[in-house]
Chains A and B, each alone.
Chain A
C-alpha cells in the first residue's frame, strides 16, 4: 500500500479518499446507539470503528442468548400444530 504515514496521528487509509471514508464513517456513527446518543461531530474514526466492532459483538451475543432460550423453549413446548398456526398468524400482525 502506498502513502502510509506512520508519523501523522491522523493518518488516512491509503487507497481511498478521506472524504469517502468520513462519509461512510459518519453513516456508521448514526447506526450505533452508543455514538448516536453523544451527537458529537468529532468522534474519531478509530473510535467509531471500535464501537462498531463492540456493537456487532454484542449483537452476536444477544442472538446467541436468544438461540439458547429459543432452543430450550422449543424443546419444552408440545408439538401442537394449532398453536403453531396461531403463532404464525400473530407474527403476521
Chain B
C-alpha cells in the first residue's frame, strides 16, 4: 500500500494542518488539545479525498461534541442491559474469539461499526497507514516549533515556491 507513505502526501498534510492551526490560533486565543486533535483528524480525513469510509465518517461527525451527550446515552443503556444480562453472557460464550476481536476493531475505526469483515480489514489497513503519517507529520511540526526561530537554516529559503 503506497498510499500515505509518499513524501508528497506528507508535505500536503503537514502544510494543510499547519495552516489550519495558524488559522484557529488567529480566531481564538487558545486551542485546546482536544480541538487540535480534532483538527488534525479532519485534515487527515480531507487528505483522504473521500475514498474511505473512516475519512467520510470523521468529516460527517459533529464538531467538538460535548461529553454530556455521551453520558445521557449511557444512562439509557444501563436499564436495558440489566434485563438482558443473562442472554448476553450466554451469547459471549458462543461467539468465537475472532468475532469478538473484530467487534473491538469496529469500534476503533471510525464509521465502520456495521461493516463486513472484508471491508473492515481494508479500511483498517488504510486507517493505520494514515494514522502513522499523522504521527510523523505532527512530530515534525512539533519539532519545528520547539526549535524556534534561531535554528532555522536560511539557505533553504531559496527553494520556496517549488510547490
Contacts and interface: CB of A to CB of B under 8 A. Distances in A.
Interface string B1-37: 1000000000100110011011001100011111111
Secondary structure class of chain B's binding surface, majority of residues: helix
B24 to A, nearest CB: 9
B157 A89 contact: yes
Interface residues of B, number: 63
Give the one of B32, B96, B131, B146 with max A CB within 10 A.
Answer: B96
Contacts of A52: 105, 124, 128
A42 B67 CA distance: 42
Nearest to A27: B125
B140 interface: yes
Nearest to A32: B128
Interface in A6-65: 6, 11, 13, 15-16, 20-21, 24-25, 27-28, 31-32, 45-46, 49-50, 52-53, 55-57, 59-60, 62-64
A62 B33 CA distance: 12
B128 A86 contact: no
Given A13-B98, A63-B135, A66-B135, A74 B14 contact: no
A28 B121 contact: yes
Interface of B: 1, 11, 14-15, 18-19, 21-22, 25-26, 30-37, 40-41, 93-94, 96-99, 101-102, 104-105, 108-109, 116-118, 121-122, 124-125, 127-129, 131-132, 134-135, 138-142, 144-146, 148-149, 152, 156-157, 159-160, 162-163
